[in-house]
Amino acid sequence: MINTYKKENEIFGTIDDEDSFVLTEYEDGQKAGVLEGRIVQGGGIRGTWSTPDGKKWFPFFLVKTTG
């Protein structure tokens, strides 16, 4: 994942049988954020990114495209 400062961060996590996921974002080996959400019908991804302490959060939505 490329962050706001155009730096590449690592992401690790799991996706369960119900298409829900929890991913942890790391920057320079330090926990930088948590992405939680769900894969929705049609292959889109909807969720929330939050800081490790949960004080800031932002919703996100990714749309699957073809071509």
Model pLDDT for residues 3-14, shown as the tens digit of each residue: 666 778 899 999
What is the tally of structural domains in the chain?
Answer: 1
> Is pLDDT larger for residue 67 or for residue 53?
53
Q: What pLDDT score does 35 carry?
A: 96
In a domain, 61, yes or no: no
Whether 36 is covered by a domain: the verdict is yes
CA angle 17, 26, 9 (to 5 degrees): 95
Write down the pLDDT at residue 47. 97
Q: Which domain holds residue 36?
A: 10-56
Mean pLDDT value across residues 23-30: 94
Q: Per-residue b/e over 19-30, b at no fewer than 16 CB within 10 Å?
A: eebebbbeeeee
